[in-house]
Structure formats: structure tokens, C-alpha cells
Amino acid sequence: MAYFNHPLLTSGVVAALIIVSASILYSKYKKWKTPVHGIPLVPGAHWLLGSVNFFLSSHDGTIKSLKTLGEVFCIFVPLGPVGVVGTTTEFIDAFKDRMLVTMSRTTQLTFSQFFKNGLIALEGEQWKKHVRVLGPMMSVSSLKQAVSSMVRAVDGLTLKWKTEVDPDKPLNVEGDIKNLALSIICDFLIGRDLSSAGGSCAHELTQHCEVLLTAVDKEVYENPLYKMIFGDRPPVRRARKYLWGLMQEVMSECREHPEKAERHAVGRIMAAVKAEAVTFTDQELLDEIVMMLFGGSDTTAVSLMWAFKALSAAPHVQSKLRSEIKEVLGPSPPTYDDVTQHMPYLDICFKEIMRVARTAPGCGRTLLTDYQLKGDTKAIVPKGATMMLGISGIHMNPRYWVDPELFWPERWEEGVGKGQGAMGLPITPAAWAPFGAGHRGCFGQRMATVEMKVLLVQLLRSFEFSPSGDPELDNWDMVERITTRPKNPYFKLRPLG
């Protein structure tokens, strides 16, 4: 190796390394400055950390970028694909094209750590198989049956609030609402009623579910590398072990008593596996149940807290809802048909709540081919890039909504919603996408819709919600995790009747 001692050769090697390094840094710098030609980059992007400021505040970042950069803008991910965020219906339409997009690779990589066999992490034939097997869960008959457990759970919370809450003092509803949503989804998935005082495993199951849900929320958002390197933390391993044992118990019950299988999702999945004659392992079933446990409790709880934010500042909307509830239901509990077919004002209130709610600021898809944007830029987004639907942005885009920041359910009424937006274009429901869009949109959106409506009916017929009276608590400040939740979910509750 003596030839390396030659000064000219050594200098040449060093020079070559410098040139190569400079070329890499320059190409990275160019990518940082102009990820996609013709599309502006969000300000504050760092050549090493990327658009970290945007990711830490994606709701506000989307709204600010919509106002300052326009309806389409880029974010920079140093080690990932190009990211293009859109706040127009063009992106919703693109998400519906199966030949154009698929689930974001980044999303799949992130969530596969927790739900390796869950829908969100799957592609191709595996994903299609899971959709066929899970489909019966969201059937009309399944949801009709679930409504009774929803009513039972919320009635338990109503009784608690009526006996414990001081109507003159603001209440932080977060803990109670999270427990309510968790109770409903557990009963739906595995037939375990956490709201029942007689539930033998209710307390233990609640604790383990909370451990797992907190781990998913914190580690995905705050420290995704920890799990990749070290695996599950000890409390999470214990929670998984407990849930695995409980799942085995539920599956055994279904095999021994087939007549009981129809009362929860696990039984329906097992029946669908048999009917489809497909291979579906116990681990696949467990991952799907854990994924839906997270998705079906956290998002509903957060959306309900945003609903209270909107409704507490709109007593006239609460009054109109109660009038419809009284007219349609009288003293009876709601049924599936009631909340899906016979309560039009409840329906438009739900749509408007989900428009102003900040539960999911956005979602992403990976492009399967180059895509040329419409509009003035005609920019070409390259194959492999991440197209991101800025849900917060499209719901606040004045192109589609008159006074977009105003909570106004009547904008959805026939004739009113046909008005003109600030840019002179028709307002259209096509600009509403709280559950994402396309074939990889939220799998549980039908249940989420029914559940939100049932809970709103039962809570509004029992309480009047009003702001806390403290400006520090009555603002719309938020905490951003996987879902974006109110920072201060405090309200005054006055019992009715």
C-alpha cells in the first residue's frame, strides 16, 4: 500500500473525495431549494432537518401556507420522497384514482411498527384480502346492532355527569370522552363492555388499552426511531401480551359458541374468513383489532371534543338540534335509521363539525406515475413523490366555503350551499374530506359517522354546553399528535330535563 504515500496520488484522492462530497451536497441543496419546479417551498425548511417546522404544526402550517404560498406547495423531507401538499379538490380526485396513487410509503413504514398486518400497512393482494374479510364489520346490520351499545355507554356517562358535575364550574371532558369512545369500540370489536360496572376485566383492559394507545401516539409522533431500534417498551409488551391472551379467549368463545359470534367484530371476521376460504392468521386478526382500537377510539374522542368547541359557542345550533331530536325521537333512544335517514339538521351539523374540526390535518399517498398538476403552474410531480391532501387547508379554502372559519351548519342546506365562494366559484361538498379520500380512505368512517351522531343526540338532549368563561380555555389552541386535539377541552354543562 506504499503507493498511497505518493503525494500526487494522495492529493488526487483527497480532491476526488472533495468533489464527490461537494456534488452530493450541491444536489441536496438544489433539491432543498426547489423540490418540484414551479411549486413554492414552505419557508423555514432546513437542508438537514427538512420542513420540521411544518410537521410540528401541520394544521397551522397548512392554513398559513394556503394564505401565503397558494393552494399547492412543497415540503422538504431530506431522507424521504418529495412532498407536495394540495388544498384543492384536484387532490381529492387524484386520491380516488387507483392507477395514480397508493398509500404513502412513509405512512406504511411508520405504522407497520405497530400494526404489521393492519390495513394501513398493507398493499396489493394482502390489502384486498383484508378488506374482504373486514367488510362485514361495517355492514348496515352490524352498525344497527352497535347503536344500542353506543346508547348504553353514553347513558352511563350522562348519569355520571348529572350526579358529579357542578354546572357553574368548567369541566375538562377529555378523560371522560376518551373512556367513552374506548368503551364503545371495545364492545364493538371484542364484546367487552367497559362501561358496565360488572365487567370483570374492564379496569385491566382499560389500563392496557391506554398504555398501547399512548405508545402509538407518542412514539409515532415524537420518537419513531426508538421502536425501530429498541422495540416495544416493557409496558407496551405487557399490554400486547394481555390483549393477545384476551383475543385468544374471545376467539375460543366464538368457536365454542357460534351463536355469540355475531355480536362483535372478531366473530364476524372469523365467519368471513371461513366464508371466503382464505388464510387469515391469529396475528393478522390481532393487528387489525389493535389498529382499529386505536383508530376507532382516538379519532372519535378528539372529533367529539372539537364538536363541543363549536357547539358551546353556538347555542342556537344546540337549540335547533334539540328541537329536531324531540320531534323525531320524542323520549326514545336513537336508532341507526333515525340518525342516518330521518334527522337532516343533525346530518348537516355533523358535516359542519367535521369541516371545522382539526382532528386530521392531512393524509398522504405515493404517486405511481408522474402527475401534471392542473392550473397555472402545470408543474410535474414525479413518480414516487408523496401527494399530501391538506384537509385543514381544503376545509378552510375560501374558493369552496363562504367565511370558512365560521361554524355555520346552514351552509349545507339545499339552496344555501349553492352560493358563491370568495373566488366566485360554486361551493361544493366535493371539498369535504375529513376521512381522507379514495379507496385508501378511513375504513371505519361509516361507524365513526353513526357513532358521532348517536353521541351528539344523547348528550345534547341531556346537557346544554357553554364556554368555560375563561378566554385562556375558550380558544381553539391545539396539541398536535397523530390526531390534533383541543389543548383546553373545558366546558360548562347544564343538565336539562
Instruction: State the binding site.
Output: 442
Instruction: Residue 243: name the closest of 196, 265, 210, 195 by CA.
Output: 210
- Binding-site residues for heme, please? 442
Cα torsion angle, 431, 435, 436, 437, sign: negative
- Looking at residue 298, its amino acid is D
